[in-house]
Amino acid sequence: MNPSPRIAVVGATGAVGEALLEILGQRGFPFSDLVPLASARSAGGQVRCRGRDWTVRELDGFDFAGIDIAFFSAGGAVSALHAPRAAAAGAVVIDNTSHFRNEPDVPLVVAEVNPGDLAGRPRGIVANPNCSTMQMMVALAPLHRAVGIERINVASYQSVSGAGRAAMEELGRQTARLLNFQDAAPERFPVQIAFNLIPQIDEFTDNGYTREEMKMVWETRKILGDPAIGVNPTCVRVPVFYGHALACHVETREAITPGQARALLAAAPGVVVVDEPRPGGWPTPVTHAAGTDPVYVGRLRADPSHPRGLALWIVADNIRKGAALNAVQLAEILVKDVA
């Protein structure tokens, strides 16, 4: 790996691509050249990174020869078509879509949890986890390493930015219309999202769970390397622009007190504990997560219904940590390993 790599950003004009470019600049990632890539519709436009404008080029037909790292954030179909040819040209692909996550020869990596898995990438592709799984793993991995986790019951409250820019625009339009006593017909969502909760994210599978929920099952086991962990998720879309929240109830293999868990999490990389029994002594998407990098944990308490149960509340910005930041962190690890 070149210590000053040439990088490509596929999906540079999307929400995750824009966040990725911002984070590359903020963290001073040492690239020598940047190639923003997007569809023909966006080609020729400009994106900004590291204090200058970069011209967006068309992805179709782009030759990845000479690119060291290629970030993909343009949807699973785009990754399926173009990520293998980027890897074949010699680039390390860091893919933000779900397309490769379950492939056994593609590592699924959270920077703070399993960075060693980056070494085994026979196809030249590394997968970023689902945004909800990502923040849950940053918070739960320290507990799993300390006492083992037997089972996870989790309800996610996921912001509309996880469904893309069009979903955010729909929430904005519906909110404005309803506040002006006008009808707000659903567009992208099956029902009104403004002032509402939708207990379905992605399509249903044969077992009655949605694909978003099953991602949390499969990905948790793969990242922690423990296929015995039970995961029971419910994923809900909420009328929040940025930041996912998880109400997480875990059953550990060895007993742990809330105080012990709090100390472990306070020392864990990427975690900020906000846990005081007072009004406002807990994290929320708006007051803590939106636009920031950490995974915030609060409401730590013993589960009165289980002798080894622990409850906690986990909040993070789904676009930054849930996608863009982790991708950049993985690239930083790749560059550091050869520095």
Distance CA 76, CA 73 (A): 8
Contact predicate 170/280, CB 8 Å: no
Find the Cα–Cα–Cα–Cα dihedral 142, 214, 240, 318, rounded to 10°.
50
Q: State the distance between the two ends of the chain, measured CA to CA, in whole angstroms.
A: 9
Backbone φ and ψ of 158, nearest 5°:
-105, 130
DSSP 28-61: T---SEEEEEE-TTTTT-EEEETTEEEE-EESTT
Residue 235 is a catalytic residue: no
State the catalytic residue, choosing from 49, 131, 235, 248: 131
Q: Residue 81: how many CB atoms within 10 A of its CB?
A: 12
H-run or E-run covering 245: strand 244-252
Distances (CA, A) of 28 to 21, 49, 87, 153, 333: 11, 10, 25, 38, 14
Catalytic residue among 244, 248, 249, 288: 244
Please say whether the beta carbons of 302 and 257 come within 8 A: yes
Instruction: Give the catalytic positions in this structure.
Output: 131, 244
